[in-house]
Amino acid sequence: MSPAKPPAVHVVTDSTASLPPGDRPSLSVVPLQVLVGDETFLEGVDVSPDDVAARIGSGQRVTTSQPTPHALVQAYEAAARAGARSVVSIHLSGDLSGTVHAAALAATRSPIPVRVVDSRTVAMGLGFAALAAADSAAAGATIDEVARRAIGVADSSRAIFMVDSLEHLRRGGRLGAAAAALGTVLGVRPLLAVRDGRIEVIQKVRTRAAAVERLVHVAVESVERRTEPELAVHFLGDDAAATEVAERLLDATGVRAAVTPVSAVVGVHAGPGVLAIVVADRAT
């Protein structure tokens, strides 16, 4: 019996998708970079989210960088060698990283056609879109159909989160100074969301417990508005709060959430203590 023919379309995404472990033959993940002093690490290869949490906790200066175009070209070349005739390359929001621009440059050097998609989101908002696109590719969809699937699921997603400190986002340029200052005013703890590719403050609460309650409430409402909802709960460091939130969401919605750490790069900018919920709709 001859081996199964590979899909004509291969999907490439990046490590900020924060995907749970799994074997996905029609999907490749290109790592972003974590920089500590003069050292450069590939997230998911040389450095884990727990490593990042420990380094931040010890006071080390940690920054991040997008993949090189060469790393993306290598992913496209590998897809071509495996038998793919085209690639859909879907990445985190271009307002949060230059990754999508690096992918566009790499596409000009690819041996097969590449369609680059800016998901306008991050974490499992991106992850759900990449997984849905890979499923479409495995089912024999065309490059246009796979790209539309990725865009539809990404557009359906809502990512809301809370952090212990807004300083990491401000220092990394992912949040304006005025918004970051809210976290130091009268003990206010802002809730944040990814909206149109950017991180915005959507509400202010007083305590972490109140923030968790609001996160769960917003997520439940979001699930109810979706036809085929998917859920993910992200954390950095201790997973106890994330597991508890996932159980509450299951009780309230009947939807089982994937509980997965944010990627190391996302963790650098969100900081230890981040708790996030992502909702998407596979029916789009």
Q: Sort residue 120 into left (φ over 0), alpha (ψ -120 to 50) or beta.
A: left
In a domain? residue 216: yes
Tokens standing for residue 223: 């699930």
* pLDDT beyond 70 at 4: no
Read off the pLDDT band of 235 (50, 70, 90): very high
- Regarding whether 133 and 59 lie in a shared domain, the answer is yes
**Predicted pLDDT of residue 37:** 85
Provide the greatest CA pair distance for the chain: 69
User: 155, 180, 213: which is the final residue of a domain?
Assistant: 155
The answer to whether residues 97 and 182 belong to one domain is no
* pLDDT computed for residue 187 by the predictor: 60
Same domain, 29 and 117: yes
Distances (CA, A) of 29 to 14, 54, 69, 82, 240: 5, 24, 14, 15, 27
d(CA 90, CA 107): 12
- The answer to the question of residue 118 being in a domain is yes
Q: Is the pLDDT of residue 9 over 60?
A: yes
What the block records as the tokens of 201 is: 């403050």
Say whether both 147 and 178 belong to one domain.
Answer: no
How many angstroms separate the first and last alpha carbons of the chain?
A: 36
Handedness of CA 149, 151, 152, 156 (dihedral sign): positive
Over the stretch 170-220, which tens digit does the pLDDT of each residue have? 555 545 444 444 444 446 677 889 988 988 888 888 888 999 999 999 999
Determine the pLDDT at residue 168: 53
pLDDT tens-digit series, residues 17-61: 999 988 888 999 999 999 998 899 999 899 888 888 888 888 888
Q: Considering the entire predicted model, what is its pTM?
A: 0.91
Computed over every residue of the chain, the mean pLDDT equals 89
pLDDT score recorded for residue 183? 47
Please tell me the least confidently modeled range out of 10-19, 125-134, 160-169, 255-264: 160-169
What does the pLDDT look like over 51-72, one tens digit per residue?
Answer: 888 888 888 888 899 999 999 9
Q: Quick count: other Cβ atoms within 10 Å of Cβ 80? A: 16
- Would you say residue 110 has pLDDT above 60? yes
Calculate what percentage of the chain has a pLDDT beyond 70: 90
Rounded to 10°, the helix 99-107/69-81 angle is 50
Which residue, 43, 46, 181, 190, is CA-closest to 123?
Answer: 43
Q: Are residues 35 and 165 in the same domain?
A: no
pLDDT tens by residue, 133-179: 999 999 999 999 999 999 999 999 999 998 876 665 555 554 544 44
Residue 200 in 3-state DSSP? strand
CA–CA distances in Å: residue 256 to residues 129, 229, 231, 251, 263? 18, 10, 7, 9, 21
Domain CATH code at residue 245 = 3.30.1180.10
Range of the domain at 98: 9-155
CB atoms within 10 A of CB 8: 17
The token pair that represents 124 in the structure block: 């499992």
Distances (CA, A) of 216 to 11, 139, 250, 262: 32, 34, 11, 18
